[in-house]
Chains A and B, each alone.
Chain A
């Protein structure tokens, strides 16, 4: 009988072809010109093109703002949901998670239509609102998860030793829940930078984010420059994942 660890082989081969090789191709295309010769001009073009740089800066700005608002609004919600004295209803928790399962494009369009109906001009404000609306469940869920798993005896010990509830919250609960916040950041920040379509719909094509310029280049057959932009995004992902402990990425898999 073959060893059972060999059962991972088909998946390994699949992943090499469909995950590793494609990522290698992004790097390859990023450093090639149209005829396949090595070049740095694609990367150089990004750093000298003020349009791309501006879009990039704006995307990072929107992503940071979105992530911060999601933490500010989402953390209290996750805390209340995880607090057995304040919330006992599993249904409420489910209602917060459910939007994650509905097509983001649909939800975005519904939001944009709502703005239109109330005569609110689409622009940066509506973009941020829509982004928060799209991504806040992805912040609430990992924080809620880690708060639920947290060992209450630390907080109780602090209380017994005379800490005020406020102190317990800042010195015990918040530090212990940081891994959850970090996976939330990972699930909100990068997707915000990379969305296309969503930003177009929420701003009536007025504001482009980084994802949109990648898409435009790929779709107009500028594969090498598109790949270079994707490569820059890959670098940022690499850097942001460094801040995130590997174990926490499991949080996403435990959605149900």
Chain B
């Protein structure tokens, strides 16, 4: 009885959480411009999305492209910067270590709008024209802390002597780095990269404040502008459905990875 009630509660909450997403997914398979008006099954919206055959279609595709490129570049740089930083922080001691960890926490605690406004003021103050580069820099800023936090636990799980052993056995520092350190840290780096990538994809507020006035649109800013004009472009429905599926697949893959990692421990 208790179990039935508990399950019912969970499923009720899940139904609430997923109702809007499922609703969007269902109505991505009909042609109607108005949401909630079923005019028969059709994949026309999907076709429109991929061929750009719609009003302002190329700008939506461009926004998706921008979003992906920005997320890839930011996540890649954040992974390199964050991994090097994690190795450094791990080898720090006492107050310096606590200080670095405190700094690392700031971008995670700050709401997006604070990060966005503060970086906006920075670029204004330094007289840097805002655009692609400033958006990427801003994304690196809020992504890197997650990489650091993903890599740090791998460093504490690792046997510290194997790196020294490699050096003693005649490996150059760069060989020891490539052959010993990086393979040990790789799972943390991958988790960190995926986390940074999704954080960047998700972002709206920070991009909004740092993209300047050159008309750079990411998916979020495109949706924002679109919704303010009144009514969503119907082609956003298939796009949301696809993103929803990609996230689902990514999470399943990561969960399987984690379970494997737990088993091998």
Contact of A5 with B13 in the complex, beta carbons under 8 Å: no
The CA of A155 and the CA of B87, in the complex, are separated in Å by 39
User: Does B251 contact A101, Cβ atoms closer than 8 Å?
Assistant: yes
Query: B149, A114: Cβ atoms under 8 Å?
Result: no
Q: Give the residue of B13, B20, B146, B219 whose beta carbon is less than 8 angstroms from that of A110.
A: B20
Question: A98 contacts B248, CB within 8 Å?
Answer: yes
> Which partner residue on chain A sits nearest B163 by CB separation?
A4
The listed residue (A12, A19, A106) touching B223 by CB distance below 8 A is: A106
A99 contacts which of B17, B111, B220 (Cβ < 8 Å)? B17
The one of A97, A105, A237 in contact with B251, judged by C-beta atoms closer than 8 angstroms, is A97
In the complex, the chain A residue whose C-beta lies closest to that of B98 is A246
In the complex, the answer to whether A249 meets B247 with C-beta atoms within 8 Å is: no
How distant is B32 from chain A, measured CB to nearest CB, in Å? 12
Q: When the two chains form their complex, are residues B21 and A107 in contact, meaning their CB atoms are under 8 A apart?
A: yes
**B89 in complex: contacting residue of A8, A81, A85, CB < 8 Å:** A8
Cβ–Cβ < 8 Å partners of A191 in chain B: 111-112
- B65 CB-CB contact with A under 8 Å: no
What is the minimal beta-carbon distance from B29 to any residue of chain A, in angstroms? Answer: 15
User: What is the CA–CA distance of A200 and B224 in the complex, to the nearest angstrom?
Assistant: 10
The contact of A8 among B92, B115, B138, B201, by CB within 8 Å, is: B92
CB contacts (< 8 Å) of B113 on chain A: these are: 194-196, 211, 214-215, 230, 233
Classify the interface of chain B: helix, strand, loop or mixed.
helix
Most chain-B CB neighbours within 10 Å: which of A18, A111, A186, A195? A18
A103-B14 in contact (CB<8A): no
Chain A, interface SS category: helix
How many interface residues does B have (CB within 8 Å)?
A: 92
Cross-interface CB contact of B255 among A7, A90, A137, cutoff 8 Å: A90
Task: Determine how close the nearest CB of chain A comes to the CB of B105; give it in whole angstroms.
Answer: 5
* Count class of interface residues, chain A: 35 or more
Query: In the bound complex, what is the Cα–Cα distance between A19 and B102 (angstroms)?
Result: 12
Q: Could you tell me if A11 and B20 are in contact, using CB atoms closer than 8 angstroms? A: no
Interface-side segment among A42-50, A72-80, A171-179: A72-80
Q: List 15 A-B contacts (CB under 8 A).
A: A8-B92, A11-B89, A17-B122, A80-B9, A90-B255, A95-B14, A98-B247, A105-B224, A110-B23, A133-B17, A191-B111, A194-B111, A233-B111, A237-B110, A253-B149
Enumerate chain B interface residues (CB-CB to A < 8 A). 2-3, 6-7, 9-10, 13-14, 16-21, 23-24, 35-36, 81-82, 84-85, 87-89, 91-93, 96, 100, 102-115, 117-122, 124-125, 137-138, 140-141, 144-146, 148-150, 173, 191, 194-195, 198, 201-202, 204-205, 208-209, 219-220, 223-224, 227-228, 232, 240, 243-244, 247-248, 250-252, 254-255, 258-259
Beyond A103-B243, A196-B113, list 20 extra A-B contacts (CB 8 Å).
A5-B88, A7-B88, A8-B100, A10-B81, A11-B81, A11-B148, A18-B137, A18-B141, A21-B122, A25-B121, A77-B9, A83-B6, A90-B255, A96-B13, A98-B247, A101-B251, A103-B204, A117-B35, A136-B13, A194-B114
Could you tell me which A residues sit within 8 Å of B by CB distance? Answer: 1, 3-12, 14-15, 17-23, 25-26, 29, 73, 76-77, 80-81, 83, 85-87, 90, 92, 94-99, 101-107, 109-111, 113-114, 116-117, 133, 136-137, 186, 190-191, 193-197, 200-201, 211, 214-215, 218, 223, 226-227, 230, 233-234, 237, 241, 246, 249-250, 252-256
